[in-house]
């Protein structure tokens, strides 16, 4: 039996999720929580297999609750179930330790399948969350592919230096700076210095 806790600040949603999940013969909802703080406490009390966690909740939000649950109970698998599909929240939730990220528009049967999947060690992801993760992986690969000199050039461009100033700072020719930038643009898939600077601020740390 898969033991589940549902955390959502809307009573109707909590009730609906409980009724839905308990139509499955292999799933038991052992508790429901109205906020993140309550979710953390209930996890400590019941030690469920899976937590379905909303993000926007009072007292303690879903991100912080997930972080605390995963830190204190690493065997408990948290799946985010939310209406928010923006990149920042997806990455923040997964970085906090969530094993999956689902949007509330999914079909009821798909939610039951997702609970079973995460209990089996899989990572159920809404397609939007999957794309965000793929984009981040590609960005990390691009960072790894940059040479040390290309990183130096890109860092100085991010500081607002013109090619001539970059060349002077690094003791190389302006033509070499342009060649490095051309390679950088191709690797990180941008077309100009502004886009490159924005990319560097996000990925070069």
pLDDT of 136: 60
Handedness of CA 79, 85, 89, 92 (dihedral sign): positive
pLDDT of 138: 60
How far is residue 118's CA from residue 101's CA, in Å, rounded to a whole number?
Answer: 11
pLDDT of 86: 76
pLDDT, one tens digit per residue, over 19-59 is 999 999 999 999 999 999 999 999 999 999 999 999 999 99
Strand pairing category for 50-53 and 77-82: parallel
Is the pLDDT assigned to residue 187 strictly greater than 80? no
How far is residue 192's CA from residue 189's CA, in Å, rounded to a whole number?
Answer: 10
Is the pLDDT assigned to residue 186 strictly greater than 70? yes
Q: Mean pLDDT, to the nearest integer, of 99-112?
A: 91
| Structure confidence at residue 80 as a pLDDT band (50, 70, 90) | very high
pLDDT of 135: 62
Reduced 3-state DSSP string for the chain:
CEEEEEECCCHHHHHHHHHHHCCCCCEEEEEEECCHHHHHHHHHHHCCCEEEECCCCCCCCHHHHHHHHHHHCCCCEEEEEECCCCHHHHHHHHHCCCCEEEECCCCHHHHHHHHHHHHCCCCCECHHHHHHHHHHHHHHHHHHHCCHHHHHHHHHHHCCCCHHHHHHHHCCCHHHHHHHHHHHHHHHCCCCHHHHHHHHHHHCC
Q: Mean pLDDT, to the nearest integer, of 169-192?
A: 84
**Average pLDDT over all residues of the chain:** 87
The half-sphere exposure of 14 on its side-chain side, counting CA atoms within 13 A, is: 17
For the chain, percent of residues with pLDDT exceeding 90? 48
pLDDT, one tens digit per residue, over 164-175 is 898 888 889 888
Q: Mean pLDDT, to the nearest integer, of 78-89?
A: 86
The residue among 200, 202, 204, 205 whose CA lies nearest residue 88 is 202
Q: Mean pLDDT, to the nearest integer, of 83-99?
A: 84
pLDDT, one tens digit per residue, over 115-156 is 999 999 998 888 676 566 656 656 555 566 778 888 888 888
The half-sphere exposure of 19 on its side-chain side, counting CA atoms within 13 A, is: 6
């Amino acid at each position: 039996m898969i033991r589940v806790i549902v955390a959502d600040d809307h009573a109707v949603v909590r009730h609906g999720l409980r009724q839905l999940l308990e139509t499955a013969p292999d799933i038991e909802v052992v508790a429901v929580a109205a906020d993140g703080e309550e979710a953390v406490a209930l996890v400590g009390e019941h030690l469920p297999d899976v937590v379905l966690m909303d993000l926007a909740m009072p007292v303690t939000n879903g991100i912080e609750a997930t972080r605390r649950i995963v830190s204190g109970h690493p065997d408990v698998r948290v799946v985010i179930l939310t209406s928010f599909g923006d990149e920042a929240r997806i990455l923040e939730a997964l970085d906090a330790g969530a094993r999956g990220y689902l949007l509330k528009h999914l079909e009821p049967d798909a939610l039951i399948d997702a609970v079973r999947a995460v209990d089996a060690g899989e990572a159920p992801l809404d397609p939007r969350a999957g794309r965000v993760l793929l984009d981040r992986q590609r960005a990390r690969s691009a960072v790894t592919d940059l040479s040390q000199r290309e990183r130096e050039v890109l860092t100085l461009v991010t500081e607002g230096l013109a090619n001539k100033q970059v060349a002077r700072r690094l003791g190389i020719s302006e033509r070499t700076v342009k060649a490095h930038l051309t390679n950088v643009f191709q690797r990180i898939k941008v077309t100009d210095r502004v886009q490159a600077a924005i990319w560097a601020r996000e990925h070069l740390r």
